[in-house]
């Protein structure tokens, strides 16, 4: 691999595979759930397609992989990266971080959206409909608290990537985490406040891609479409 092959740095957002609660829409923060058999299959399928030498997520081009401390994320990393993950660990390029733990749902843990809204209304909290991006979670995290921990992670990622905007050094980053958290990360990457109305979807076992415009650390962007590596 030559220097120019590295390209503008990217951040890959890898959501963990399906669990029983993600399947039925229950908010899962600190509760430790295993992947379903279907969830494992989702991750193995996406990993086989995009992770590996010459593929979209090329282990030789990674500066670091950050993984949530929850077991469902740890298992997703293990399944998606396989032997490549073990090599990255040996190279000190994998770390577990609480900054990628799912949003702390507090009293809303294990509930569905309509149950949360009904409960809040019964307690006289609001009648307009709960919005996690604006209201946060009772007994859990506020949008500001999630913002602060994600901004700290973004600052660290920028420290890897700022000097390599033109591919001077391969420094892609992978985040293995959760649905709400990775969407929150995307908002902060783009410098939007949490309450900014940016509708996003990220399926279990799916991968999103963030990068920069014009090779500029001050112009973060998301890739709404990306080209796969060319094999010559």
Q: Compute CA 131 distance to the chain's CA centroid, rounded to the nearest angstrom.
A: 20
What does pLDDT average to over the chain? Answer: 93
Rounded mean pLDDT of 135-154? Answer: 97
Res 232 pLDDT > 60: no
Going by C-alpha positions, the residue among 142, 145, 154, 146 that lies closest to residue 191 is: 154
Going 67 to 72 to 78 to 79, the CA torsion angle's sign is negative
Interior angle at CA 67, CA 112 and CA 45, nearest 5: 75
Q: Which residues pair with 161 in a beta bridge?
A: none
| Per-residue confidence (pLDDT) for residue 51, from 0 to 100 | 97
| pTM (global) more than 0.85 | yes
Distance between CA 27 and CA 73 in Å, rounded?
15
Q: Which two tokens stand for residue 209?
A: 């891609």
Told to judge if 109 belongs to the known catalytic residues of this protein, a careful annotator would answer: no
Q: Which 3-state string (H, E, C) describes 35-52?
A: CCHHHHHHHHHHHHHHEC
Feature table: binding site for substrate: 28-29, 72, 102-105
Rounded mean pLDDT of 126-143? Answer: 90
Told to judge if 102 belongs to the known catalytic residues of this protein, a careful annotator would answer: yes
Residues 39-70 have pLDDT tens digits of 999 999 999 999 999 999 999 999 999 999 99
Topology (CATH) of 3-105+142-222: Rossmann fold (3.40.50)
Res 199 pLDDT > 60: yes
Q: Which of 18, 102, 109, 141 does the annotation list as catalytic? A: 102
């Amino acid at each position: 691999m030559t220097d120019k092959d590295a390209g503008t740095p990217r951040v890959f957002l890898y959501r963990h595979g399906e669990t029983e609660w993600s399947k039925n829409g229950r908010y899962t923060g600190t509760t430790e759930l295993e992947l379903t058999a279907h969830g494992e299959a989702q991750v193995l399928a996406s990993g086989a397609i995009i992770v590996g030498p010459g593929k979209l997520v090329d282990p030789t081009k990674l500066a670091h992989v950050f993984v949530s401390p929850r077991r469902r994320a740890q298992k997703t990393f293990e399944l998606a990266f396989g032997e490549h993950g073990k090599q990255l660990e040996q190279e000190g390029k994998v770390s577990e971080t609480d900054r990628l733990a799912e949003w702390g749902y507090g009293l809303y843990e294990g509930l569905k959206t309509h149950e949360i809204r009904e409960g809040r209304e019964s307690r006289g909290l609001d009648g307009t409909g709960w919005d996690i991006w604006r209201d946060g979670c009772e007994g859990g995290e506020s949008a500001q608290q999630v913002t602060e921990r994600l901004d700290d992670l973004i600052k660290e990622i920028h420290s890897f990537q700022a000097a390599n905007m033109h591919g001077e050094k391969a420094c892609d980053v992978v985040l293995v985490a959760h649905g709400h958290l990775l969407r929150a990360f995307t908002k902060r990457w783009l410098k939007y406040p949490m309450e900014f109305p940016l509708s996003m979807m990220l399926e279990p076992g799916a991968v999103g891609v963030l990068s920069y415009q014009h090779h500029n650390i001050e112009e973060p962007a998301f890739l709404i479409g990306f080209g796969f590596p060319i094999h010559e």
